[in-house]
Amino acid sequence: MIERRALGSQGLEVSAQGLGCMGMSEFYGTTDEAESIATIHRALDRGVTFLDTADMYGVGANERLVGKAIAGRRDEVDLATKFGIERNPDGSWIGINGRPEYVKSACEASLQRLGVEVIDLYYQHRVDNTVPIEETVGAMSELVDEGKVRFLGLSEAGPETIRRAHAVHPISALQSEYSLWSREPEAEILPTVRELRIGFVPYSPLGRGFLTGSYRTAADFGEDDRRMAFPRFQEENLERNLCLADEVRSLASPLLIVGTSRPAADEFALRLAADRGATFGVSRAGFTELVAKLAVPALARTGLAPSAPLSDEAVAARVADVLLTRDKLEYFGPVADMPGFPRALARTLADLRMAGVSPDRLSGHAASADLSALLERAIEERRNAGAVDYATMLAAATDEITRAPHVFADRTVVLLDVAISSNADARFARALIAAAAFTIITIPTGDLRTRRALESGSTGPPTRPEAASALSRLQERLFASEQPVAGVSDDSVVLFSAPGEGREAVEIARRLLQEASRGVPFDEMAVLLRAPQTYLGVLEHALDRAGIPAWFHRGTRRPDPAGRALLALLACADEELSARRFAEYVSLAAGG
């Protein structure tokens, strides 16, 4: 949720991040009312409640748009609008108007267009040098007395004007352009408002969009984009300003955290927020989620759609039944009609696809002919249905990165313990690394498969001091192919067995209570289940009877066969991290 901040000392409080609505109606090129309203709704949903408009934006059209967007949600909005720049109905300019009678009529018109009874913050848009500021602010203060306006503000006013206005009626906010390339307020304006305890609202904090890097040439601006009238956006200055903007962006490149799952990425982002006080510029996604975000739109353009895991099993069941009925299965013939065969076959076909194995390459085993026929038939079934498997999604996502690497060119990508278990995974990850400005990769100790898939030019794993505890030695040697040196046993690793699943679940609950009595929080405990279908129910019952709060995480029913689930748990304990960091495997439900 967005932080809230006080503007002035009169009681006005708004979201720290605001949404300027001017460009939704005019000045910045083509507009789309439906998209603009959706943007406002999205902002409100995310806690951005400070909306800024003005009567001159679109000659009233922007106020009507904002009013339409906030209808039914007025209580969620900190609404600011402005008066003082007068225009004809055709959009032509009349001039600055600060006369008291105009202040009153402009407010009435804004209230009607916005469809509200009161404006939270009412600004004078520009100071009218032909009318004493005392008279203008005097008329504005009467609007406060009448209950039509709650707080007053000025826009682009000088220090002396601010002082004179504030003496008539408390000014809660001053709005001026302020960004890394518009720093004029720093000399006199900011000291003045700080002294008078007036809130400061910077407009165009991203340099009218320029500092985002979205505009590289004059052709990037539409013909009716008013920014082209400003000298800094014109051809003779644009190139020099681009160099400055690139320097700024290099110092603050957006961060994309890619975790094995979305919860793992979220947990890491929360830790960043706790340490740094904010996560501005940080986005996150699970590995599969990122693949889908890139692949699904690209596939949709060709009339294709991803298939779900259940669909994969359905395809496997169908092709097995068709080939069995036609006596085309020899090796798998005796088991092809067994209940568990479609699931096992779906997994096998998925592994073959992820490895990039085509049907004609299968040979050398008694099952090769059957697998080749089954794989070829499954590919044909999906093609006819307009559906694709995860391997095709990975290929499409990889192609999207290769086609448009600029999407990631300004980002620092963090690959957070992402397991690379196939050729398709590796190709996607390497494309992402190549496109990103910088990449930070964390790999659990001993995961040589992922290391080999991602590294380039590495001299090998760094030397590590000998692990002290049995838990640390187990973590370090989990993937070791050679016989480890025997070490001293301690209570960090305890092996036990009990007769039957029910007794094992009771013993697990007892061990958890024992750890809790030693001061270990339940949030730092986790249980991995080798056979979730067998153990999940009895363990849930045992934990409930023992009064242990348990959190069963979705998607934990099938740990990686290489042991990454156990490795995650060991790292969780050894590094004293929350179990939710490894939520894809752990937190009182996983596998092992």
pLDDT tens-place string over residues 384-419: 889 899 999 999 999 999 998 888 887 889 999 998
Per annotation, catalytic residue among 57, 122, 178, 215: 57
214 within a domain of the structure (yes/no): no
Confidence at residue 65, expressed as pLDDT on a 0 to 100 scale: 97
Whether residue 379 is contained in a domain is answered as: yes
Please report whether residue 395 resides in a domain. no
- Please indicate, yes or no, whether residues 521 and 539 belong to a single structural domain of this protein: yes
* Residue 26: predicted pLDDT: 86
Name 437's Cβ contacts closer than 8 Å, sequence gap at least 6: 250, 253, 408, 409, 410, 411, 412
60 and 137 share a domain? yes
> In this predicted structure, what is the pLDDT of residue 213?
67
| 227: confidence class by pLDDT, cuts 50, 70, 90 | confident
Buried residues in 209-244 as b, exposed as e (16+ CB within 10 A): bbbebebeeeeebeeebebeeeeebeeeebeebeee
Does 75 share its domain with 193?
yes
How far apart are alpha carbons 374 and 323 in whole angstroms? 8
Structure confidence at residue 466 as a pLDDT band (50, 70, 90): low
* Mean pLDDT (the chain, rounded): 84
Residue 574's pLDDT band, with cuts at 50, 70 and 90, is low
Domain-located, residue 108: yes
- Check whether residue 135 and residue 185 sit in a common domain: yes
Query: Do the domain assignments include residue 272?
Result: yes
Asked if residue 541 and residue 424 are part of one domain, the reply reads no
Please tell me the total count of domains within the chain.
4
Query: Which of 337, 357, 388 represents a domain boundary (last residue)?
Result: 388
Please check the confidence at residue 190 and state whether its pLDDT lies above 90. yes
Q: What is the pLDDT of residue 577?
A: 52
Question: Given a cut of 80, is residue 244 above it in pLDDT?
Answer: no
**Whether pLDDT at 569 is above 70:** no
| Cα–Cα dist 129/236, whole Å | 33
Residue 568: predicted pLDDT: 56
Residue 518's region, left for phi above 0, alpha for psi from -120 to 50, else beta, is: alpha
- Asked whether residue 280 falls in the same domain as residue 416, the answer is yes
pLDDT at 286: 93
Do 289 and 417 belong to one domain?
yes
Is the predicted pLDDT of residue 555 greater than 50, yes or no?
Answer: no
Residue whose C-alpha is closest to residue 320's, from 387, 374, 368, 388: 374
**356 and 433 inside one domain:** no
- Residue 282: pLDDT band with limits 50, 70, 90: confident
Q: How confident is the model at residue 534 (pLDDT cuts 50, 70, 90)?
A: confident
Structural domain that includes position 532: 496-582
The question of whether 57 is a catalytic residue gets the answer: yes
Kindly indicate the confidence band of residue 456, based on its pLDDT and cuts at 50, 70 and 90: low
256 has a pLDDT exceeding 70: yes
